[in-house]
């Protein structure tokens, strides 16, 4: 039996507004509990919501970026349920008339192929607060700072057939919302989270199998692992003659498995109805056109430009255009160094390596794009070799300073003076009697390889500062003169 997975995703992107969706309280992350929860967020009697215009504009930006229909008239609905992190007893959301309708994005898979994934809809809603269960005996602590933070819930069609496709989709949406500047994309802080709907069916079947929903997964890697694990669990269950139960599951990253959280309440248990406290939102073509004119360059367009303008490979262009901050950084370095390929190699190589090792975001890189550009300039004009440049880069990362200052202070300037190089080469040859003997007696076509030993000695003697191209030439000339 061959099984096929069917995956649909719901992504909650926290919109990067300064204030909440229906109140003037701050949305800043990490404040003391309940210091950013005002009377509206607490649902005190007599308070009324007033809609944040920036949340609307951000949602429309997203809709335009995924080529979607924009709801000229959208309506807020109440989704009723009881939980203390939601003091109103309902979440204000949009069920019947969302702001963003049907759209699509194209994802690129590892083998280079493209696939179109449908976006069913995206709607505005408010986030709930946070409950802390394990700190107080018999009680739960409630922090309502997050209550009322604007979210854009982006719902995909069940178009994905593997964990790889799902992750490519999530990355693409992540790259779109961060490029638009409507979400900071910080998964660890919960600004971008993903619920995965997974079912399996026999290949060729038309009907979908029973699906489960795995909630709030907060890294790309966990999304992949959770989906792979859930597909396996369902297949095992069905092959053993069991049945998949429709339910909500939680991904446990430590055990790398999903576990049941609660059986899914029926949709009509939420008793949705239009929110009488909020009037319909109407927008016209001129509003939409104005938003369209304000859109920044999107990842697909930027990738195409990187290939065209900088002659980058498809892969390099995709990686560098995927994150707006990374793309901006790369372009600044490329312009400063006047060499896009060298800039791409350094940004994706040394810089990304240190960023990963130190778990640092590109935004907080201790080495600025200007600093790195300055360093690459010194490679280009032969002041230092690529190898020395890595040393300079590490100093830059740890201690700061410009490339010129570090090269000067550490005396790393490349030796290009031919007299100096000849002197070192002479010393090495004089001190390497047996190797010189071997070189002389070797077959001529083997000698090229043997030069490596002498190269190493000269570079060592010069502490890596001799210009390698020059050393190679001088060595060959002097050794061949002995034959």
Binding of residue 101 to another protein (CB under 8 A): no
- Provide the minimum distance between the beta carbon of 17 and another protein in the complex, in angstroms, as a whole number: 5
- Provide the minimum distance between the beta carbon of 36 and another protein in the complex, in angstroms, as a whole number: 7
Binding of residue 131 to another protein (CB under 8 A): yes
Contact characters 315-334, another protein, x per CB under 8 A:
--------------------
Angle, helices 369-380 vs 403-410, to 10°: value is: 60
Binding of residue 463 to another protein (CB under 8 A): no
C-alpha 344/C-alpha 360 separation (Å) is 19
Could you say which residues in the range 44-73 bind another protein, by CB under 8 A?
44, 50-56, 73
Closer residue to another protein in complex, CB, 34/345: 34
Question: Cα dist. 120→13, 106, 123, 155, 209 in Å?
Answer: 16, 14, 10, 6, 20
Total residues at interface with another protein (CB under 8 A): 54
State which of residues 228, 235, 237, 278 lies at the interface with another protein (CB under 8 A).
278
C-alpha 430/C-alpha 427 separation (Å) is 5
Closer residue to another protein in complex, CB, 53/437: 53
What DSSP character marks residue 132? E
Stretch that binds another protein, among 19-27, 161-169, 329-337, 454-462 (CB under 8 A): 19-27
Q: Going by DSSP bridges, is the β-strand pair 247-252/212-217 parallel, antiparallel, or unpaired?
A: parallel
Within a 10 A sphere around the Cβ of 287, how many other Cβ atoms? 15
C-alpha 228/C-alpha 339 separation (Å) is 41
Stretch that binds another protein, among 141-149, 322-330, 341-349, 414-422 (CB under 8 A): 141-149
Question: If you search the block for the tokens 């819930």, which residue do you land on?
Answer: 153
Q: What angle do CA 143, 149, 152 make, to 5 degrees?
A: 135
Residue 234 contacts residue 257 (beta carbons within 8 Å): no
State which of residues 101, 118, 274, 464 lies at the interface with another protein (CB under 8 A).
274
Task: For residue 185, give the 3-state DSSP assignment.
Answer: coil
- Provide the minimum distance between the beta carbon of 37 and another protein in the complex, in angstroms, as a whole number: 7
Closer residue to another protein in complex, CB, 54/405: 54
Binding of residue 118 to another protein (CB under 8 A): no
Stretch that binds another protein, among 27-35, 231-239, 394-402, 456-464 (CB under 8 A): 27-35
Closer residue to another protein in complex, CB, 46/136: 136
C-alpha 301/C-alpha 87 separation (Å) is 44
State which of residues 37, 99, 187, 244 lies at the interface with another protein (CB under 8 A).
37
Binding of residue 468 to another protein (CB under 8 A): no
Binding of residue 432 to another protein (CB under 8 A): no
- Provide the minimum distance between the beta carbon of 269 and another protein in the complex, in angstroms, as a whole number: 6
- Provide the minimum distance between the beta carbon of 75 and another protein in the complex, in angstroms, as a whole number: 4
Closer residue to another protein in complex, CB, 281/369: 281
- Tokens for 477, please give them: 């000339």
Half-sphere exposure of 38 (CA within 13 A, CB side): 16
- Tokens for 273, please give them: 């109805």
Could you say which residues in the range 222-261 bind another protein, by CB under 8 A?
261
Contacts by residues 249-255 (CB-CB < 8 Å, ≥ 24 positions apart): 249/212, 249/213, 249/214, 249/215, 250/214, 250/215, 250/216, 251/214, 251/215, 251/217, 251/222, 251/225, 251/226, 253/222, 253/225
Stretch that binds another protein, among 62-70, 217-225, 272-280, 300-308 (CB under 8 A): 272-280
Question: Cα dist. 391→4, 5, 387, 463 in Å?
Answer: 50, 48, 7, 12
Binding of residue 301 to another protein (CB under 8 A): no
Could you say which residues in the range 142-181 bind another protein, by CB under 8 A?
142-144
Closer residue to another protein in complex, CB, 31/455: 31
* Chain positions contacting another protein, by CB under 8 A: 17-19, 23-26, 32-39, 42, 44, 50-56, 73, 75, 80, 82-84, 97, 131-133, 135-136, 138-144, 261-262, 269, 271, 274, 276, 278-282
């Amino acid at each position: 039996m061959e099984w096929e997975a069917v995956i649909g995703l719901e992504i909650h992107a926290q919109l990067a507004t300064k204030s909440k969706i229906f109140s003037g309280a701050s949305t800043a992350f990490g404040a003391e509990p309940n210091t950013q929860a005002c009377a509206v967020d607490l649902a005190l009697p007599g308070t009324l919501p007033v809609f944040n215009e920036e949340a609307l504009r951000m949602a429309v930006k997203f809709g335009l970026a995924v080529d979607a229909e924009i709801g000229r008239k959208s309506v807020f609905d109440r989704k009723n349920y009881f939980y203390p992190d939601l003091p109103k007893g309902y979440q204000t959301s949009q069920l019947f008339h969302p702001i963003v309708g049907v759209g699509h994005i194209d994802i690129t898979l590892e083998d280079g192929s493209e696939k179109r994934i449908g976006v069913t809809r995206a709607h505005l809603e408010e986030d709930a607060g946070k409950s802390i269960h394990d700190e107080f005996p018999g009680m739960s602590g409630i922090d309502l700072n997050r209550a009322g933070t604007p979210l854009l819930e982006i719902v995909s069609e069940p178009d994905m057939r593997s964990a790889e496709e799902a992750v490519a989709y999530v990355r693409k949406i992540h790259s779109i919302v961060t490029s638009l500047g409507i979400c900071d994309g910080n998964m660890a802080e919960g600004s971008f989270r993903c619920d995965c709907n997974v079912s399996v069916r026999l290949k060729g079947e038309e009907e979908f199998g029973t699906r489960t929903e795995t909630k709030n997964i907060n890294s790309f890697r966990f999304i992949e692992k959770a989906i792979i694990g859930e597909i396996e669990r369902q297949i095992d269950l069905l092959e053993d003659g069991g049945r998949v139960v429709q339910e909500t599951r939680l991904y446990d990253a430590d055990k790398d498995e999903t576990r049941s959280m609660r059986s899914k309440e029926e949709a009509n248990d939420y008793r949705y109805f239009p929110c009488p406290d909020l009037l319909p939102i109407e927008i016209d073509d001129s509003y939409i056109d104005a938003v369209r004119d304000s859109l920044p360059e999107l990842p697909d367009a930027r990738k195409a430009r990187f290939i065209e303008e900088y002659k980058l490979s498809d892969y390099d262009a995709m990686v560098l255009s995927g994150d707006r901050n990374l793309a901006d950084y790369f372009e600044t370095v490329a312009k400063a160094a006047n060499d896009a390929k060298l800039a791409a190699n350094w940004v994706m190589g040394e810089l990304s390596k240190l960023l990963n090792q130190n778990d640092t975001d590109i935004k907080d890189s201790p080495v600025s794009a200007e600093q790195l550009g300055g360093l690459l300039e010194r490679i280009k004009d032969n002041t230092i070799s690529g190898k020395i440049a890595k040393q300079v880069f590490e100093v830059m990362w740890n201690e700061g300073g410009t490339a010129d200052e570090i090269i000067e202070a550490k005396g790393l300037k490349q030796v290009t003076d031919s007299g100096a190089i000849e002197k070192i080469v002479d010393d090495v040859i004089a001190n390497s009697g047996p190797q010189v003997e071997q070189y002389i007696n070797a077959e001529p076509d083997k000698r090229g390889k043997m030069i490596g030993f002498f190269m190493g000695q000269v570079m060592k003697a010069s502490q890596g500062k001799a210009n390698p191209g020059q050393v190679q030439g001088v060595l060959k000339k002097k050794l061949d003169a002995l034959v």
